Structure 1
Amino acid sequence: MSVLYIALPIAILLALAAVIGFVWTVSRGQYDDLETPAYRILEDDQKPKPKEER
């Protein structure tokens, strides 16, 4: 029973930290564009420019 006096405040602090972290990421615009990163992996890398011959 005495473990609840330790575990409960720790659980509440962790939950509060998770909520604060989520609110912080939403306010910074982290989740504004969810589609572009999925398409970015499908794009080809830039091809190197050919060297000029002298």
Structure 2
Amino acid sequence: MNIIYMLLGISVVVAIIFFAAFIISVKKGQYDDVYTPSVRMLFDDELVKTNQAKNSSDPKEKSN
């Protein structure tokens, strides 16, 4: 029974260490996306075209 308490304590300590490492990496900007903004401009035209196509097929606009 003592081994269960020891393993439970160790697992909590390891979980706290991983959580602290995650918080530190987020604060240092490890998960900041620097690639997508440079590529997003290449796909802006496609987004505008699909939005215009959706708006032109709107039945409310045709009735006005």
Per the normalisation by structure 2, the TM-score is 0.50
Instruction: State how far apart, in whole Å, the 1-side matches of 2:35 and 2:29 are.
Output: 14
Deviation beyond 6 Å, 4+ runs, structure 1: none
Amino acid paired to 2:28? R
Q: Which has the higher helix share?
A: 2
- The Cα RMSD (Å) is 1.9
- Consecutive unaligned residues of structure 1, counting only runs of 5 or more, are 40-54
Q: Which has the larger radius of gyration?
A: 2
Q: Shift of the alpha carbon at 1:35?
A: 3.6
Q: Shift of the alpha carbon at 1:4?
A: 1.2
Percentage identity across paired residues of the two chains:
35
Larger RCO, structure (CA 8 Å, separation 6 or more): 1
| 1:31 aligns to 2:34 (yes or no) | no
